[in-house]
Amino acid sequence: MAVDAGGCFIVLEGGEGVGKTTQWNHVAQALTAAGHDVVALREPGGTPAGDALRAVLLDPTSALTPETEALLFAASRAQLVRAVITPAMQRGAVVLVDRFLLSTYAYQGRGRGLPVSALRAVNALATGGVAPDLTLLLSLPHEEAMARMRARGSVDRMEREADAFHRAVRAAFDEALQPTWQAQHPEVGRVVAVDAAGEAERVTSRCLAALAAHWPHRFATLNALDAPSAGAELHG
């Protein structure tokens, strides 16, 4: 039975190695199994134009200035918001996105050193005022996350950055959990932490519990049984 409760916009965030893409898949599967109309998207990407930009942005051979990088991420986001996210929200779907504006503030702001005021202005145009209802920020000790990332083998252009870059990104994500920061950045929406330690299914259960806490009527039926088994995982 389909669940119709109006559209909602959920983002999964976190630094490299926290298992974000795995949880994006698992949460999407659990919500779909519970009867929700789910539109699962990733940034950059999600549209033909966005996928082309993703290839450039993540290609280890791409030599991009920080400004170019930020503008390409914003261009992909602008296309995704207008072509996919807004229509999905209007029809009442659950939109689940792997990364959004908070990543720009963490990676291009804190990591690359670009002024947040400039990033905010560019992305105000890109999003047209569309903001997540809730962001689940996956958190894992830095050393453990880096070990996970290295264990995967090949790394993309962002993952191959120096440890200092990843520590700066992590610090920005930690800051985003502070109520004062969130009050000063309403375009990011509410951000809540989810412990990313342990088995993937247990982390999925924590994500689902966070959704049920935020939308008790819409997601009241979500529980640990909704977490897909490891065999259902689409991405590592």
pLDDT at 148: 83
Q: What separation in angstroms does the CA of 67 have from each of 22, 138, 143? A: 30, 27, 29
Half-sphere exposure of 180 (CA within 13 A, CB side): 1
Please report the DSSP string for 78-102 in residue order.
Answer: HHHIIIIIHHHHHTT-EEEEE--HH
pLDDT at position 3 is: 40
pLDDT at site 223? 59
Q: Residue 232: in which H helix or E strand, if any?
A: none
Is 74 in contact with 80 (CB distance < 8 Å)? Answer: no
In this structure, what are the phi and psi dihedrals at residue 42, rounded to the nearest 5 degrees?
A: -135, 155
What domains can be seen in the chain, in order of their start residue? 8-40+89-231 (3.40.50.300)
Backbone φ and ψ of 138, nearest 5°: -75, 130
By the 10 Å C-beta count (0-12 exposed, 13-18 middle, 19+ buried), 217 is classed as exposed
Report helix, strand or coil for 168.
helix
| 100/67 Cα distance (integer angstroms) | 17
Q: What is the pLDDT of residue 182?
A: 97
For every one of its 236 residues, what pLDDT tens digit does the chain have, with 9 covering 90 and above? 334 457 999 999 999 889 999 999 999 999 999 999 999 999 999 999 999 999 999 988 999 999 999 999 999 999 999 999 999 999 999 999 999 999 999 999 999 999 999 999 999 999 999 999 999 999 998 888 888 888 876 778 788 788 899 999 999 999 999 999 999 999 999 999 999 999 999 999 999 999 999 999 899 887 544 454 443 333 32
Place of tokens 């919500």: 31
- pTM of the predicted model, to two decimals? 0.89
